[in-house]
Amino acid sequence: VCAARYLASMGKADENRLCISGGSAGGFTALAALVFSNVFKAGASLYGISDLSCLAKETHKFESRYLDQLIGPYPQEEKLYKERSPISHIDKFRSPLIIFQGDEDEVVPLNQAEIIFAALKDKGVPVAIEIFKGEQHGFRKAQNIQRAIDGQFAFYSKVFGFTTADKLPEITIYNLDKLH
């Protein structure tokens, strides 16, 4: 957030087109930055965490105690988990978001993407979701990796109203009409 502000203040980035993107914990960071700051005008979450409590209860065994070190033991620190979860602050979410998620992800289960998508769609925030069949945590198939990259660019082109040189995949963006 501070780096993006600095670059904008130096004229090195357009403060009206700053975007944030991240996967897994980086997806959580992107979601949190969109909720807890007004710096970014759009974002992308790739298999990102939207509800820390839900993740603590549902992630696979290998990662099941990971959040204890970062946040505190669950459920003893459940209040802190909720305070830090982007889904708990949906009222603060204003910027368009595209979500990419594998349907076989056991680390950050599909419901993490589905709950933030549904909440933003219901709130009227421009939002899109791409669910990749057969993908787990982190995309492995070349066509899905390419689709996520091209999908982000297509999403940003629609959100910011610019024309791309190449033909990009069609992205369904809900509530896009509420942006302009």
CB-CB neighbours of 77 under 10 Å: 18
Tokens read off for 177: 């009409």
Determine the pLDDT at residue 179. 83
Average pLDDT over residues 145-153: 97
Tokens read off for 141: 């198939």
Name the pLDDT band for 53 (thresholds 50, 70, 90): confident
Average pLDDT over residues 144-157: 97
Residue 60 has pLDDT above 60, yes or no: no
Determine the pLDDT at residue 55. 81
Exposure b/e, 136-163, CB count within 10 A at least 16 = b: ebebeeeebeebbebbbebbbebbeeee
Determine the pLDDT at residue 58. 76
Determine the pLDDT at residue 66. 66
Strand ordering across the sheet containing 127-132: 19-23, 42-46, 97-102, 127-132
User: For the whole prediction, is pTM greater than 0.85?
Assistant: yes
Lowest mean pLDDT of 20-29, 30-39, 171-180, name the range: 171-180
Residue 70 has pLDDT above 80, yes or no: no
143: closest CA among 154, 132, 153, 152? 132
Tokens read off for 55: 């993740």
Average pLDDT, the chain: 93
Give whole-number Cα distances, 131 to 128, 144, 169, in Å: 10, 10, 14
